[in-house]
Structure 1
Amino acid sequence: MNTSNSALSHDPRDYRRALEGTLGIPFTTGNRIERLVNGVRIFPAMIEAVEAAERSIDFLTFIYWQGEIAERFGHALAARARAGVRVRILLDSFGAHSMPGDVLDELAQAGAQIAWFRPAMRWRFWQADNRTHRKILVVDNRIGFTGGVGIAAEWDGDAREPNEWRETHFRLTGPVVDGLRGAFLSNWVEAGERGFDDSWEYADSKIDQADNGALVQVLRTSAAVNYSDIATLFRLVISLARHRLRITTGYFVPDTATIDMLCNAARRGVEIEVLMPGPYTDSRVARAAADDAYHPLLEAGVKLYRYQPTMLHAKIVLVDDVVAISGSANFNHRSMGKDDEIAIAMIDPPTFAALDADFDDDRERCHQVTLENWEKRGVLQRIKEYLSRILKPQA
């Protein structure tokens, strides 16, 4: 199939074929997607699933920090372990280093299996900078969650003020759960743990015969030679976009090749909008590195917006009116070349419409960066941009 912009129609089958043919991963049918906006909705859904677990819980996270939600989530996992449910917890040794000790102790005493991904003191020094950034919860091999949320007080709220981050996560059922479980197991086995069950149980996907459910493709990536298929995915959807591309990301630090592709897409008439953090961010390096990319993008007509109320941490890409992409990956160097990530591509009109409406709502809470104002920035800002180029690969 010719996947050039001029040849692609609005038929979802064309986008599906382009994604499958390029990434080599088929979409599955018969899935159900529930979008969860902000911690006030994300955490209750995750804890409800954990508390209802009967056989197994597999949980992987990059971030496990402090706060009431960190305690509450840990208590829920420990309670199911004490009840005889197999609980496996995989924590990135860098991102989860500040996890409360009392929660770890309770989990261990309850019988949960706990592993650390690439402990800094023991791991090969040349891989110490490559982390697992995946966020995955799989319950009873039947219900899965993924997206951008970390387990910390920063996410526990509804993005009403600076200490309540803006996030989007997903509850998934159907064959897509196999992809999430596989992503968990690949990191679990690398951490030195036994990864395979003695027996396998599969829940019915409960396909709605009327529409066969949502189409979902799961992409799990590991960085190799400073490149991963997250970069392939992002560059592909830029090339596929015919009339509109909307990007929401917590860290916007595209490399030169991606910047060029975005500029070319804008020049061929694609409306491109990017939402990113504004005054509230947990990475000043990423902010400065992002600023360095503004000028060519603005000149090409790309619209850039900075989210004002709090840290914007959601990861959503919307392609035309057809494909929605989410998961753990940001539009930055680390996701495209350093960290293990998970991404889900979704072809499901109700989900797309909801995410599109979320984008509109979030844009209303942004300040737009214009070329006129950007060209008036001061000398100090320009120096920060120049210096950020040194650290851009870490952003």
Structure 2
Amino acid sequence: MFEALISDTVELPLALVALGGVALVVMVLVVWSHKRHSDPKLGIECDDPLPALLPSIAGLSHGCVIEGNRVEVLENGRFFDVLIEHIVSARHTVHFETYLWKDGLLSERIVQALCERARSGVQVRLMIDGNGGKLMRRSTRKRLHEAGCRLAVYHDRQLRNIGVMNRRDHRKLVVLDGRIAFIGGHCIVDDWLGDAEDRHHFRDVSLRIEGPGVHALQSAFSENWVDETGELFVGEDVFPRLEPRGDVALHVARVKPENAAPAVKILHHLVMCIAHERILIQNPYFLPDPEAIKALGKAAARGVDVRVMMPSEGASDMPFVQQAAHRHFETLLAHGVRLLEYPRTLLHQKLMVIDGQWCAIGSSNFDDRSFEINDEITVGLWSRDLAAQFEALFERDARDCVELDLASWRRRGPWRRARERLFYLFNEQL
């Protein structure tokens, strides 16, 4: 009887553990079923010229074509010179949203400009991500608050946000007086200063935009601002009447509908399916999913010049991401996709050019974290002139690249292949 009692005492906790395990599996399945969505199938059959498809591209990515914009391309550290010059000239509002912020020389310049504007009566709203902004010092936050800046932290690292902390605000966006916007990949870290001259000065591109399209970017800023603060802003100071300022048509992809494929993912995948001549991609973290790999391979098979440039493993700030990306390089190379690695420094710009006519820039990396989890923004632009500028940047950077060769790539050793497979298991979280 004593042995039976011991047996029953042991079996009860085991049964509770088993029951808890089943409950956990059921809970995971319920969450997965609630959150899942169907990825876009990239089997589009369409011979229409790209100009005729622009409304479709914008509409399918939950946007609309907005004409009459003027756009200026800003590279490397010069971006901040122009940005700060415009911040100190703002008369009504400064809306600043960024992912990565680390105190240093650049941070000090930005903080001084924001504080000066706030003390002058300008409404300054600053949104930083809870994860990317964790290195912003308390003293910096105090200075901003004391000057009158409104600072909001997106999904701050607190217990109440434990369920959403993995969802990050990865956007880099500034809107001034509702009339001028800046968008691209630049972060508030000293590595983004300089002119990409060495490994400690990164390579990046952003845009300065004027015209009616600024309203769409102001709307994007308001999305996460309202989410964190509950504050709505209205009036001429934030949404003024905007007249045409140039000849660039643009559309914005940012929407992430519940249980539907995110707009940024649809946009990046869609344009690969309708390219007729060439696809040029520059992206720091290139981890395409199977559908994107298939789309790029099909494009190469129909004679499209497909080239993708990313930093080399040695130049990347996250080399394990590059190792994960290598998982499918053999497949891409075998299908005729040309892969180039940039070794000089971190190549951080996120650019696409399709057929020398349409181009895109934004915060989105070419991976599942950006496409599925993060809050991102990509601006599509219809402009042969801008496309030519982006293509010139690509060709200039290509001169410093090492192009991968299929035969050599296939000779990499078993340890390297195993490491690639291991890191790729975590591709959505990298």
Match in the other structure for 1:59: 96
Q: Which residue of 1 aligns with 2:376?
A: 341
Quote how far apart the aligned CAs of 1:97 are. Answer: 0.6
Is contact 2:254-2:262 (8 Å) kept? no
Equivalent position amino acid for 1:248 in 2: Q
Matches within 5 A, 1:1-395: 7-10=47-50, 12=51, 14-39=52-77, 41-197=78-234, 202-203=239-240, 205-207=242-244, 213-222=247-256, 224=258, 227-278=261-312, 279-395=314-430
Q: For 1:107-155, what per-residue CA distance to the aligned partner results, in whole angstroms no more than 9, with x for missing partners? A: 1110000010011214443322111111110111111000001011010
Opposite residue 148 of structure 1, the aligned amino acid is: G
Instruction: Measure the CA separation in 2 of the matches of 1:147 and 1:59.
Output: 13
Q: SS at the partner of 2:420? A: helix
Judge conservation of contact 1:223–1:338 (CA < 8 Å) in 2: no
Check the 8 A contact 1:225/1:337 in 2, yes or no: no
Over aligned residues, Cα RMSD in angstroms? 1.8
Contact 1:247–1:318 under 8 Å retained in 2: yes
| Counterpart residue identity of residue 78, structure 1 | C
Q: Secondary structure at the match of 2:428?
A: helix
Instruction: Give 1:200 shift.
Output: 5.4
Q: Is the 8 A contact 1:75 1:103 kept in 2?
A: no
Q: Work out the percentage of aligned pairs sharing the same amino acid.
A: 31
Asked if the contact 1:30–1:205 (Cα under 8 Å) also holds between the matched residues in 2, the reply is no
Check 1:260–1:87 CA distance in 2 against 1; reply closer, same or farther (3 A cut).
Answer: same
Amino acid at match of 2:47: A
Whether contact under 8 Å (2:62, 2:263) holds in the other structure is no
> Residues 30-50 of structure 1, C-alpha deviation per residue, up to 9 Å, x if partnerless?
1110000112x1001110110
Q: Letter of the aligned partner of 1:172 in structure 2?
A: I
Secondary structure of the 2:398 match is helix
Cα drift, residue 23 of structure 1 = 2.4
Partners of 1:8 and 1:18 in 2: CA distance: 11
2:21 counterpart residue number: none
How far, CA to CA, are the matches of 2:140 and 2:259 in structure 1?
A: 36
TM-score by length of 1: 0.94
How many angstroms does 1:88 deviate by?
0.3
User: Secondary structure at the residue paired with 1:359?
Assistant: helix
Deviation at 1:284, TM superposition (A): 2.4
Q: What is the rounded CA distance, in whole Å, between the counterparts of 2:267 and 2:209 in structure 1?
A: 21
CA distance in 1, matches of 2:282, 2:249: 21
Matched to 1:264, the amino acid is K
CA shift at 1:223, angstroms? Answer: 7.3
Shift of 1:207: 2.7
**Residue 59 to residue 250, structure 1, CA distance change in 2 (3 Å):** same
The runs of at least 4 aligned residues of structure 1 exceeding 6 Å deviation read: none
Distance of 1:152 and 1:340 partners within structure 2: 20
For the 8 Å contact 2:181–2:217, the answer to whether it is kept is yes
Deviation at 1:388, TM superposition (A): 1.2
What one-letter code is carried by the residue in structure 2 that aligns with 1:85? V
Give the structure-2-normalised TM-score: 0.86
Q: Deviations over 1:232-269 (max 9, x none)?
A: 11110011111100000010011111111111211121
- Would the aligned equivalents of 1:226 and 1:337 in 2 still touch at CA under 8 Å? no
5+ residue gaps, structure 1, are none
User: What amino acid maps onto 1:57 in structure 2?
Assistant: V
Q: Deviations over 1:155-177 (max 9, x none)?
A: 01111100000000000011111
Q: 1:202 Cα shift? A: 4.8
Letter in 2 for 1:194: E
Q: Partners of 2:279 and 2:45 in 1: how far apart?
A: 13
Give CA-to-partner distance per residue, 1:331-350, whole Å, 9 cap, x none.
11111101001110001122
Return the alpha-carbon distance in structure 2 between the equivalents of residues 349 and 243 of structure 1: 14
Unmatched 5+ stretches in structure 2:
1-42
Structure 1 residues 111 and 100: CA distance shift in structure 2, 3 A = same
Larger radius of gyration: 2
Structure 1: how far apart are the matches of 2:326 and 2:371? 18
Displacement of 1:316 after TM fit? 0.3
